[in-house]
Amino acid sequence: MTDIIQRIENKIVEIQEWLDELKQLELSTSNRSIKITRYDNCDILIHKNDIERLGFDKTKTEEEMIQLAIEYGCKIVTRSGKNGKWYLKGKDRTIDYLKEKLDKNLGKYRDGVYCLLLE
């Protein structure tokens, strides 16, 4: 009987260690801040959608798309109009490269098209 109790106590200690590691992981991800810059009437990397080639459904929220971009490591979230689809872009591209492209295309697209740069 004492063997079973010892094994249970060992498992409890192991689970507690896992929970402590999980708390540390949550703290490290929640402390990470992201700067978001909006570029209106702008689009870049046309037809170079990194995650979903045909885009994401227009019913998704901006917050959902930002979360997906973070998950997939994309630095650009694009909305292709007020009722348009969402696109994730800029994976494996430098921030300087993306800023240069955004600045070059700023104001060149119709109303409702915009990019969010995640830094």
What does pLDDT average to over the chain? 85
pLDDT at res. 66: 92
The CA-atom distances, in angstroms, between 15 and each of 3, 18, 19, 23, 105 are: 18, 5, 6, 12, 52
Phi (first) and psi of residue 94, to 5 degrees:
-80, 155
pTM of the predicted model over 0.75: no
Type of residue found at 17: E
Phi (first) and psi of residue 118, to 5 degrees:
-100, 115
pLDDT at residue 31 tops 80: no
pLDDT at res. 5: 85
Say what percent of the chain tops pLDDT 90: 45
pLDDT at res. 24: 56
Of 10-19, 64-73, 95-104, least confident by mean pLDDT is 10-19
pLDDT at res. 34: 83
